[in-house]
Amino acid sequence: SNLEIGRIFLDFNKFLFDDINKIEIFSWSTNSSYFDDGKEWWGSFFWTVYNPYKEWYLGITASTTD
């Protein structure tokens, strides 16, 4: 159900990030051949999220192309 999906999403975020106000988010350049296939239409993205409490880095890459 949508309610269950929402709870899973919130639990997942709490597990990864703890206090959302303390995380550090960085946006990185995608000017690399690695991202070329994702730039066919609207572009691509690359972020890292740092959780200082758990000392975890999470990398997120996305393409706005199909």
pLDDT digits (tens, 9 = 90+) for 5-56: 999 999 988 888 877 888 999 999 888 887 777 666 777 889 999 999 888 8
Please state the pTM of the whole predicted model.
0.67
The pLDDT value recorded for residue 38 is: 61
The pLDDT value recorded for residue 20 is: 80
Region of 43 on the Ramachandran plot (φ > 0 left; ψ -120 to 50 alpha; else beta): left
Mean pLDDT, residues 49-64 = 88
The pLDDT value recorded for residue 44 is: 84
Distances from the Cα of 38 to the Cα of 7, 31, 32, 57, angstroms: 31, 11, 11, 23
Distances from the Cα of 23 to the Cα of 8, 32, 40, 55, 61, angstroms: 20, 26, 32, 10, 18
